[in-house]
Amino acid sequence: MNTLPLVPRYGQDTLADLVPSVAHHLGLDGFADSIELPHAERYVLVLIDGLGQQLLQGAAAHAPHLASLLPGSATLMACVPSSTSCSLTSLGTGLVPGQHGIFGYTFREPHADRVMNALTWHNGPDDVLAFQPRRTMFELAERAGVAVSSVAPARFEGSGLTLAGLRGGHFASLRSEGSLSERVSKVTRCARRGEKSFVYVYERQLDHTGHSAGCNSYAWQGALAEVDERVAALRDALDDDVCILVTGDHGMVDVPWENQIVAEYEPGLSEGWRMIGGEGRFRQLYTDHPVEVAARWSEVLGDKAWVLTGDEAVGAGWFGAMDERCRPRLGDVVVAMRDNWAVMTADQPGEMSLVGQHGSLTREEMLVPLLVDHPPSRN
């Protein structure tokens, strides 16, 4: 792997730039297309959780439809950390992490001074809109007259993360995630709404399989094949004027159990901080002594990690422009793992069972494909 972290080029080709580029083609004022998308007045954006660029390229034989779109496709960069909650919020708001403040899987909620989980919203604030008050791209597009829809499992309707990063438009709940016919019919109906339409479709099976079985497993390849069939079925069902965009929120790295370091049990890592957040591949430490703690972790982990103070990571552009209201949520020390290492915490014993992990700034985790399936542009 590279010796330097892969820092996102915010404003150019990150997940935060994708929906603003779509908005440009749908006629929203003030947005530019930095990605060079084909023009359409109806878009369906399929977000496949865990679909990394390098993973797809390596397993292309198991995804013939997606693989057929790889030639000439673009590559986007996830945001930091390369986790679902951060990437989806950046995608839905068009904002860099420093502006929306959803800094990964778990991070500090300053008012209660405790670690919150952004996916489940456990320990999160009751007033989600005060926590993330910026308008989402979905809200802005709906205001501009675009028929905006989200097609996702029913359990996510009204959840904290949905309200923070993906609110706005019509939520078309999936009663059965495994029902291909339900998914296709709802996406098709949503895509035909209004004179211009934008449909966001969330697919999570691949990520779950990667976490439990590993992204190099036969189970992961089988999950990819199922996802591929779903996208192909959407293309067959959707009208030719609909441009389908397919991307991921992050890639993944398999971490062998012997490469899991437990922070509380490792000499030199267990002291000096009072709270630990993040995830195994991207830890956030909350401490009154960030310089000392960062130096100690850097010495212990060596070339297994990039260890920076939070201020250093902000200065290096990891999170884009930082809103000072969001800064207290970010760790005073951030630890981005390299190669196939992870730092676990005894506070979250469930993490120990994860095989596939993500969150860091490696190419495997940061690069995601942007596949364009638009019949008028086909050769």
What confidence tens digit (pLDDT) does each residue in 225-279 have? 999 999 999 999 999 999 999 999 999 999 999 999 999 999 999 999 999 999 9
Q: Give the start-to-end residue ranges of the domains of the chain.
A: 15-253+361-377, 257-357
Residue 119 pLDDT > 70? yes
pLDDT (0 to 100) of residue 376: 64
Q: What is the CATH number of domain 257-357?
A: 3.30.1360.180
The percent of residues above 70 in pLDDT, for the chain, comes to: 98
pLDDT (0 to 100) of residue 2: 52
Contact 280, 359 (CB under 8 A): yes
Class of domain 15-253+361-377: alpha beta
The count of residues in the chain is: 379
DSSP 41: S
Which residues are CB-contacts of 250 (< 8 A; sequence separation ≥ 6)? 50, 52, 78, 82, 83, 84, 87, 358, 359, 365, 366, 368
Contact 107, 116 (CB under 8 A): yes
Residue 377 pLDDT > 70? no
pLDDT (0 to 100) of residue 1: 45
State pTM to two decimals: 0.96
Residue 378 pLDDT > 80? no
The percent of residues above 90 in pLDDT, for the chain, comes to: 94
DSSP 276: E
Burial degree of 266 (CB within 10 A; 0-12, 13-18, 19+): middle
Q: Are strands 242-248 and 260-262 parallel, antiparallel or unpaired?
A: unpaired
- Residue 177 pLDDT class (50, 70, 90 cuts): confident
Across 10-14, 56-60, 113-117, 371-375, least confident range: 371-375
Residue 116 pLDDT > 80? yes
Which residues are CB-contacts of 152 (< 8 A; sequence separation ≥ 6)? 162, 171, 172, 173, 174, 200, 201, 202
For range 207-228, the mean pLDDT:
98
User: If you average pLDDT over every residue of the chain, what do you get?
Assistant: 96
Mapping DSSP to helix (H, G, I), strand (E, B) and coil, where does residue 325 land? coil
Burial degree of 74 (CB within 10 A; 0-12, 13-18, 19+): middle
Could you give the CA distance from residue 91 to residue 164 in angstroms, rounded to a whole number? 11
